[in-house]
Structure 1
Amino acid sequence: MMSSASSLTLAPPMADLAGKVVAALNTLYHGDKNGKREADLFLEDFQKTPEAWSISAHLLSDPSSSTDVQYFAAQTLRTKIIYDFKPLPQAERSSLRPTLFHFLRAPFPAGVTRQLAVGLADLAVQQREWEDPVGDVVAEFGAAAGTAGAGDDRVGRDGEVLLEWLAALAEEFYDSRIPMEKKELSARQDQVMMKHSGEVLQLLMTFFAKAGNASPLALRVFTCLKAWIYSGDIPLHLIHPPSPLCDLLFDALPSDALFDAAVDALEEIIHRSRDATKHGPLVARIHQKLAELAPRLELDRDDSERMRGYARVFTEAGTSYVKLIAARWEEESQLVECVLRCAAASDTEVAKVTFQFWYELARFAADDPQLRARCAPVYRHLIGAMVGHIHYPRDASGWTAQDRDDFREFRHEMGDVLKDCCVVLGPVEALGVPFQILCRYAGAGADGTPGGATPAPLAADTPWPDVEAPLFALRALGAKVPATEATIMPRIMSMIPHLPNHPKVRYAAVLVIGRYAEWTARNPSFIPWQLTYVCGGFEGADQDLKSAATQSYLFLCESCGEHLVPHIDELSKFYHTVVSTLSSDDRVRLTEAMSNIVAALPLSQQQGRLQDFCLPIARRLHEIAEVGVPQGQEEERAVLIEASDLVDQYNTYVKTATTDPPNPTDPHPGVEVLRQLWPVITTLLAKFGATRLSRALCRLLVGTMRTYRAFLLPLLPEIINRAVALYEATQFPCYLWVCKTAIDVYGVEGSAEGSSMVELFRTVSRTTFVIIQQSKLSDVSDDIEEYFMTATVAIKKLPTAFLPNVDLVLSVFQCGIHCLHSEHPEASLEVLTFFGKLFHQLSPNVIPFPAIVEPVKDALRPQMPAFTGMLVQALLVTLPRDNVREVADLLKAMNEVFPGETLRWVEAMITSIPEGHAVPDEKAEFVSKVATSISENPPRTLQHAVQDFSASYRRRNLSARVRRGTGGDRT
């Protein structure tokens, strides 16, 4: 394979392939878009081939190879070692180590050496017969560290290789793609690493002493140190004083070259020393060095990069030592002050680093009044800093959409910090900070006395973000303010209508009102002006303000429905006036808001009021139904959008606007209104059932069943019959959704409705079988997904009614075998879910009735070898990667129904895989893992085995084009 890397000559066919690889790489880096894509696919497939071993070694040995070629060759060797090491014959395995040693001594660029070092680390992880990798590699490359003087080139080159490899070795153990089980990987790590902890640490200290504070080698020392500490292979007790390592890391912080690496290592050491009783001497020394570092926060306050690093160190210390802070505040308060200075830094990226600490400290303070009192001054400053950071910039005209999204996300993270402040300070003091700021702009004093009755425009010298930011803070704090708060909330609510009149300010204020709707429900005297203020947001053309007003109006109606009942006539007029001016989503929200008021009415009044809201919708839908589908494409689209919105509005009333009568035989107000609208709905189904309006109509039918349940029984047969007929006529899977919901809601074992639900499932099954038989699976993935969801619901809700229909069970089972070929993730997942539920229901522990279960098992048993074969084929070829682990759960369920037989079927299928596609050792290992883990609960080992075997097979046998879902051969 690669026995003589230094003088490797390729035979003509191999040389030709090597030339193609070099040409493909040239295209990949310098070709056009299509050429790059084809080159990438070719190179990915090349890396799977056995020839890749020799050709990569040849390209690395060839002095004419460019850096790009060298890098690809080294990367290929690394990839081959990760994925293709196991199938190698022993002789070729043995040649890998000297070959990699040889290449690591060559003067390659750093990126190439990095790939080779990681490849050697991956070899050390996997090659069990390599007993002492660390000792061997240190012997090979570490001698110079002990014999050469400072600045010696041997220290530089050999040291860099050794440190690169040591760091890679630690990283590959804790962040590895190597297909090894966690227990196996952990055992190998203990064997390879732990006995060398002290030796490696001493080696790192020696290298650092000879490298000097600013050399690249010193940087690698810190990187390697962090990796070994993170992996747990340098125990922290080795770093305790008198070890100078902690001091070295802090002393390296002034160096720009070493700063980031020193911060990384310090952060890891601090995190792992969080048990102060166990690591007392080290923690004490860290505190001393942190105190010495504190002045840098002022000296470097304008250096964002350094401030981020300092923030990471101080914040990690605060978070890790939070128990110490809680126990001895006086001694630890300087550390807290340093974190606070970072939180108040002008760069929000620096402030963001500290957020987790404030949560952890507040969590401790929540149950400790004394600690809360001590923390209070800090959190007062913190809340002010957060309000400052929340400000939008005065000029955001240069922002991209991504910039705006990032800032919105950041604001919500700051909102969480404000909640932490509220935990410590209490709602009155926490709300008081933004309130006092707002009082200045509302023309009110600190006592909250409202200003003039009519808000003045925003002053020309007052940027709107100055007012909007404290309003955002009030909204963020809402989650921690109880609805019973009576000290400051009345003052805040009295102030809001007197804030300056500006769209951004009104937008934020409207959202504040909605956030405190539960508080308003307990203080209904504020409702009139709040409604006026919120409803004013619907005026004008500002869509963002309208959306905010709709959201807050909904929250008010949800929380204050009973208080709004007296205003329903006025609010009804308002609704009919503005609803048509809103977006589709906001129409539904506004409709839901009104529904909550209707639901708050006495039961006797609900039907009449519901008619008032629904009949205008029905009239317009009737007009649309009478005209039918327009001829023009644009006209049809406009009508379908309008009709869909109207149906969704009515569905909102269905789901929200009524309450159930106490007696199941009493008329239900919602059902009575539905009866009146039913002729319109049936006409729409008849004329528009084959259009996109079908989805909204099906949502409505589903909504009626889930809301009205038993009250809908008189209409249920007609609903089901229409759904079945339309499914057969249109083959739209949304009608299956209706049938599935009917089975889910009305499928009760032993009831008349339950028996009819089994027949319903049989009927839709016949239609679905025809659809699937006449179509490509890729064209009917939605049908497959919805049908097998329906099948799962049927067997879950009605097992003893469903299973005796052996012919039906067998037909669904055979259909499922066929549909295992589907490459659509959701469809294949639902097929697997159905099989899992079927086998679960057949388990003797679930249905202890042999008379029901045994005939089904007898019918399925002859199908099981073919089923297992299709399951294995799906596992290895067609099943989407995200669904592979579901196969493990399915195998476990199968084994509970067919113990012993399941393993024989799996073994037969795996053994039949040709050797060119899977080597015998791999197949035997997989079968062995299945045998030993199939009874585990939960089946984690089985899941890992299934995933690893599938990934290995696919990588070796499927082209890159197929694996990426872009077509092509499967071989």
Structure 2
Amino acid sequence: MKREGTGRTYDVRRSSYVVDDGRRSVRTSTNERTYVPTYYVNVNLNLTVRYSYVRPSFPSRTPDPVPGPGTRPYHYGRTEPGNPGTGNRNGLTVTGWFVPAVPDGRSVGPDRRRRPYYDDGGRTTDQRTKKTSSTYRHAWTTTISILQSSPEAEAQLFAATTLKGKITYDLATQISESDLPALRSQILLLLKKFAAGPKPVRVQLCVCLAILAIQMQTWKDVLPTVVAALGNDVASHACILDFLRVLPEEVTEGRKITLSEEDLAQRTSELLADNAEQVVQLLVNYAQSSPAAATNPQLFDCISSWLREVPVNVIVNSPLMNAVMHGVADDKSLAAAADCLGIICRETKDVDDNLETIQALLPRVLELRPRIQALVDDDDTDGFKAITRVFAEAGESWVLIIARQPQHFRPLVDCLLECCARDKDRDVIGYTFSFWYELKQYLTLDHYIEARLQLIDVFARLVDILLKQLEYPHSDDPNEIDLFDGDREQEEKFREFRHHMGDTLKDACEVMGVAACLTKVHDAIKVWQDKYGSQATQTSVPHWQSLEAPLFAMRAMGRMVESNDSSVLPQIFPLLVQIPISNEKLRFAAIMVFGRYTEWTAAHPDFLEPQFQYIVSSFQSDSQEILRAAAQSFKYFCVDCKQLLGQQVIQLQAFYDQILDKLPDPSKEEITEGVANVVGVQKAEDVYKLLKLYCDPLVQRLMNKANNATDNKAKLDLADHINLLTYFTQHVVPYVPSTAENPAVKYWQEVFPVLSTILDNFIDFVPICERVCRCWRFMVIWYRTAITPLLAPMANKLAEGFAKSKQGCFLWATSAILREFSEEREHVEDGIAENIYVFFEAQATSVLRTMSDLPPIDLPDVIEDFYRLLIDALLYYPTKLIPSPLFIPIFQAAISALSLEKQEPVSAALHYIRDVLTYGGPNPARSGNELGPAGEQLRQIVKQLLLSQGEALVKQTLAGMMITFPRDCFADGSGVLLGMFQLVPAETTEWVDRTIRMLPAGTITPAEADRLLAKIREKLQGTDSASVRQIRALLQDFTNTYRRRYVAPRDGLGLLEAARFHFEG
């Protein structure tokens, strides 16, 4: 994805693709492949896992090939549902025709992408022979037969999982309604058989029965039937509890069911709302049946599952509440009961509707406070976590009433604070972070100032706790570097966790005030200095953890400090520049603090010199971590204090040139951005000589690297070095009159031949092409019409580059030229805008030829860049583009691009189509007043285009929304359909009807299709525009429902397949 002023880069060290969004870099491996196992079943009972290829979410520009045919054996191990492991498969293998996409049969992944599947002989599944109805029946009976007779737990689990998938996906098409009672009876018999276990098989069979109950609409007495069939022995109780637990989960979350929304809503009411009272009574009777039953974790899981259907006050005022509290007191059921109690608290989140219930719950929750100390003393980490989660859930749910009645609810807040204070190993404090944030949100409002005053001491104690929790683990050896026994993952988790604690420190700052928090930091530093400062040497710093923690806290609070604050910071910074440099972590922390407070330093220049010298001296370190920190802070000093550092611009160049080659690549970019900011504030008459001073050495390095770039690593290094020049184009932009020569452009005219030669020599290497295009794009964006002397050679290179490489980056740079030199821009010379449009048409023709030669799946980035370019062309040159002979093929190519399954190109194509549609109505993307008399002509051209291409557009858009579009493209897809209904309503209705009739047989009934079309026609008959807009919601609901129910067909989209784009121009 590309945004204004950003670009793409390649990271040399990781060989990974980097998206630079101007704030942070998001990496994705250029060679990453993801393989998803897909399971098949047939009567041969041979199990094979097919690995289907899923492209990375942001792949490299050169797509990886789809792996060829092949299989891997699948081994059984762990038997939890949906979580197969490794182990002996005992000869059981399965291959064939039935496909639950993953072991639990619920989904095929976030994007539900259609993927190729392979069998043993390399044949795709659509080449297999069609199965007869007798084969389908045989599959059902075989699956059940395994459950009835196989002694192996692995085979039983697989058969139960398969049966669940069959009932979910195939029940409506393969089992007649008259056979459903027999299937129900068979499942009940199986449940009776497996009532005592294995538990995974029993749970899967309960899910089977629940899914059957949802679809079997004639089955009205579900609970009595199940209870009566399973009996009243202890084993059956476990089975009934499992069924009661999964039933609401499947009804509310199992959305693959082939029922209409109306039928599903009715069935939900019948199964849940109508049975809620009966379920509560069943659970009460069970809880009172024996002491063991009253503390059975299954009981609490059932209560949790039904809390969404049963009013929470019914549970709180029933004997079940006592059972929950007894369960929390019992170590064996503590986890399940605590989760249940937390959900009960969560259900009272609407405090105004649940005041009485909250008042009844509060003392029950506070009863648990003595357990905090007991669990800590027993070193029961799991129990401590469970209790803390209860307090956290209660606090988050009741935070509003806490702010209203702080004195009454103060004991609950104290419970949370105690959990934080007793958490020596940082196991539970993270559960409280959301509560402190939510409480801060209310306490910082003027309306709750009284509560703020009453609770401010709580936040003061919280800061003290966090300062202690921020400390690295202590060691007997003050010089010990490895504090995590070599566990790098644990160290990384600790570092990440500290940043979360830093967020909570910010919350405390907002409640207490920054000065109070910084005072605590200052006091902590002084305490360390008084106790251990005199013991610190060049080689050893005792108890450095107690000093590093307040430094980290100070860094975390930096965002809260105003630049004009002068209360505490003037006392702290003189202490920081005395931080011992021998300890790497202390030096790192001090450097990061200095970099965080550069805006404050800019307003207090007396503190600049010692801090800046501390940073500069840190570049002599051999530690890569120190170097990276120093480079980052150096950049912020140069950005925020550039006016103060302007007098040192010559000395900075000597330092920059000396240190550059020592740094890692990201740090090179950071210090380059820093010095470029300092150069950028110099007088215009000095810019040319300063650019030569700073950039000539870079250009010389660039030429040397180009001459020696023979392998990919060296080429990537060259690409990264080009980016250093780009920072100067971004930040050195002198203001000069439009009639005068721009000194920066004068310098870049000297550099342009070097970049052009590099581009010519490395035209087949994508990262270099992208970096050169990025540099030129920024030249156009920042120097605007001043870049006119370079315009002609740059346009020629961009056209030549795309023709040779077929890379979208050349189109990306072209869009900047098209926008900055449009007819309406100031200071554009006569004839330039016309020449630019001719240049654009040549580029567009070249792209259309490429799209005609190659399928869209091979050109995702080109398509994205092309349609983002076209959005600009349509905005700035509508009177030229719309009547152009290229307009229709461009639109046809956009429809073809909608068959892709990547968000970026599909979004770009949809945005372009939506903009085109606006020119067919009264509100074009460009103001109608600016179009003048040409506006009506453009409207007629667009409407004629829609009449000829509209059916293909509607078909591909609906197919995308139902099957192939990434989820983030839904809104734009429905926007396209809305635009079509607004411009050509009758035709669009007919096209939607035809498209829906093309869906695979069995996925939608004629009645559902007729119902949708009737609603659309009803909305079209409305007299206001709001009625037409409601069609968008209708189509979104319909396509979302379809997408939830059905997986993408493995044998292609059939009649919904996009037509191949052809261009004869």
Equivalent pair of 1:236/1:273 in contact (CA under 8 Å): yes
Partner of 1:121: 210
Equivalent pair of 2:207/2:246 in contact (CA under 8 Å): yes
Partner of 2:1042: 949
1:900 is paired with a residue of what secondary structure? helix
Partner of 2:336: 261
Partner of 1:726: 801
- Aligned mates of 1:660, 1:610 — CA distance in 2: 15
- Structure 1 stretch 909-918 or stretch 192-201: which is displaced more? 909-918
Q: How does 1:629-644 map to 2 (within 5 A)?
A: 633-634=710-711, 637-638=713-714, 640-644=715-719
Equivalent pair of 2:92/2:155 in contact (CA under 8 Å): no
Equivalent pair of 2:45/2:92 in contact (CA under 8 Å): no
TM-fit CA distance, 1:725: 1.7
| Counterpart check, 1:357 vs 2:425 | no
- Aligned mates of 1:932, 1:81 — CA distance in 2: 36
Structure 1 residues 802 and 791, CA, compared in 2 at 3 Å: closer, same or farther? same
| Counterpart check, 1:45 vs 2:130 | no
Q: How does 1:528-539 map to 2 (within 5 A)?
A: 528-539=609-620
| Counterpart check, 1:775 vs 2:854 | yes
TM-fit CA distance, 1:99: 3.6
Partner of 1:905: 991
Partner of 1:8: none
- Structure 1 stretch 779-788 or stretch 824-833: which is displaced more? 824-833
Structure 1 residues 754 and 901, CA, compared in 2 at 3 Å: closer, same or farther? farther
Partner of 1:423: 510
TM-fit CA distance, 1:833: 3.7
TM-fit CA distance, 1:275: 4.4
The code of the aligned residue for 1:559 comes to: D
- Aligned mates of 1:160, 1:774 — CA distance in 2: 63
Partner of 1:202: 281
Partner of 1:831: 909
Over the residues paired in the alignment, what is the CA RMSD in angstroms?
A: 3.6
Equivalent of 1:238, from 314, 321, 327?
Answer: 314
Equivalent pair of 2:256/2:1044 in contact (CA under 8 Å): no
TM-fit CA distance, 1:328: 3.2
TM-fit CA distance, 1:660: 3.3
Partner of 2:756: 682
- Aligned mates of 1:339, 1:700 — CA distance in 2: 54
- Structure 1 stretch 98-107 or stretch 900-909: which is displaced more? 98-107
- Structure 1 stretch 551-560 or stretch 730-739: which is displaced more? 730-739
Equivalent pair of 1:57/1:73 in contact (CA under 8 Å): no
Equivalent pair of 1:253/1:259 in contact (CA under 8 Å): yes
TM-fit CA distance, 1:211: 3.9
Partner of 1:557: 638
Structure 1 residues 259 and 773, CA, compared in 2 at 3 Å: closer, same or farther? same
Equivalent pair of 1:359/1:420 in contact (CA under 8 Å): yes
- Aligned mates of 1:683, 1:38 — CA distance in 2: 63
| Counterpart check, 1:596 vs 2:680 | no
| Counterpart check, 1:404 vs 2:483 | no
Partner of 1:104: 191
Structure 1 residues 317 and 802, CA, compared in 2 at 3 Å: closer, same or farther? same
The code of the aligned residue for 2:391 comes to: F
Structure 2: which 5+ residue stretches go unaligned? Answer: 1-40, 51-71, 78-84, 106-130, 475-481, 929-934, 1021-1027, 1054-1065
Equivalent pair of 1:885/1:947 in contact (CA under 8 Å): no
TM-fit CA distance, 1:513: 0.4
1:295 is paired with a residue of what secondary structure? helix
Structure 1 residues 430 and 802, CA, compared in 2 at 3 Å: closer, same or farther? same
1:18 is paired with a residue of what secondary structure? coil
Q: TM-score, normalised on structure 1?
A: 0.86
Greater relative contact order (Cα 8 A, min sep 6): structure 1 or 2?
A: 2
2:483 is paired with a residue of what secondary structure? coil
2:75 is paired with a residue of what secondary structure? helix
TM-fit CA distance, 1:129: 3.8
- Structure 1 stretch 675-684 or stretch 719-728: which is displaced more? 675-684
Partner of 1:706: 781
Count of aligned pairs: 915
TM-fit CA distance, 1:608: 3.4
Task: State, as a whole percentage, how many aligned pairs show the same letter.
Answer: 25
1:365-414, Cα deviation, whole Å (9 max, x unpaired) = 22344433322322222112212222222453435443333222211110
The code of the aligned residue for 2:154 comes to: D
Equivalent pair of 1:933/1:942 in contact (CA under 8 Å): no
| Counterpart check, 1:939 vs 2:1007 | no
Partner of 1:654: 729
The code of the aligned residue for 2:74 comes to: L
| Counterpart check, 1:64 vs 2:149 | yes
Partner of 2:243: 165
- Aligned mates of 2:76, 2:227 — CA distance in 1: 40
Equivalent pair of 2:47/2:95 in contact (CA under 8 Å): no
- Aligned mates of 2:49, 2:517 — CA distance in 1: 63
- Aligned mates of 1:917, 1:288 — CA distance in 2: 53
Q: How does 1:853-932 map to 2 (within 5 A)?
A: 853-869=939-955, 887-912=973-998, 915=1001, 920=1006
TM-fit CA distance, 1:465: 2.9
Equivalent pair of 1:836/1:893 in contact (CA under 8 Å): yes
- Aligned mates of 2:959, 2:437 — CA distance in 1: 50
The code of the aligned residue for 2:752 comes to: W
- Aligned mates of 2:950, 2:1052 — CA distance in 1: 30
Partner of 1:479: 559
Q: How does 1:307-322 map to 2 (within 5 A)?
A: 307-322=384-399
| Counterpart check, 1:19 vs 2:44 | yes
Equivalent pair of 1:170/1:228 in contact (CA under 8 Å): yes
TM-fit CA distance, 1:253: 1.2
- Structure 1 stretch 828-837 or stretch 902-911: which is displaced more? 828-837
The code of the aligned residue for 2:313 comes to: H
Structure 1 residues 675 and 325, CA, compared in 2 at 3 Å: closer, same or farther? same
- Structure 1 stretch 125-134 or stretch 418-427: which is displaced more? 125-134
TM-fit CA distance, 1:843: 3.5
- Aligned mates of 1:742, 1:340 — CA distance in 2: 59
2:99 is paired with a residue of what secondary structure? helix
Q: How does 1:790-869 map to 2 (within 5 A)?
A: 790-805=869-884, 807-822=885-900, 824=902, 826-846=904-924, 849-869=935-955
| Counterpart check, 1:575 vs 2:649 | no
- Aligned mates of 1:726, 1:139 — CA distance in 2: 76
1:127-162, Cα deviation, whole Å (9 max, x unpaired) = 444445445545655xx6xxxxxxxxx242333233
Equivalent pair of 1:869/1:909 in contact (CA under 8 Å): yes
The code of the aligned residue for 1:98 comes to: S
Structure 1 residues 44 and 669, CA, compared in 2 at 3 Å: closer, same or farther? farther
Partner of 1:75: 161
TM-fit CA distance, 1:773: 3.0
- Aligned mates of 1:714, 1:937 — CA distance in 2: 52
Partner of 2:820: 745
- Aligned mates of 1:904, 1:861 — CA distance in 2: 12
| Counterpart check, 1:304 vs 2:390 | no
1:551-610, Cα deviation, whole Å (9 max, x unpaired) = 111111111111111222222221121122112221111011112212233444334323
- Aligned mates of 2:504, 2:245 — CA distance in 1: 36
Equivalent pair of 1:562/1:600 in contact (CA under 8 Å): yes
Equivalent pair of 2:210/2:247 in contact (CA under 8 Å): yes
TM-fit CA distance, 1:649: 1.2
Structure 1 residues 96 and 831, CA, compared in 2 at 3 Å: closer, same or farther? farther
- Aligned mates of 1:334, 1:621 — CA distance in 2: 66
Partner of 1:279: 354
Partner of 1:786: 865
Equivalent pair of 2:301/2:336 in contact (CA under 8 Å): yes
TM-fit CA distance, 1:930: 6.7
The code of the aligned residue for 1:561 comes to: K
TM-fit CA distance, 1:730: 2.7
The code of the aligned residue for 1:234 comes to: V
Equivalent pair of 1:888/1:946 in contact (CA under 8 Å): no
Structure 1 residues 872 and 200, CA, compared in 2 at 3 Å: closer, same or farther? closer
Structure 1 residues 330 and 817, CA, compared in 2 at 3 Å: closer, same or farther? closer
The code of the aligned residue for 2:841 comes to: R
Structure 1 residues 741 and 38, CA, compared in 2 at 3 Å: closer, same or farther? farther
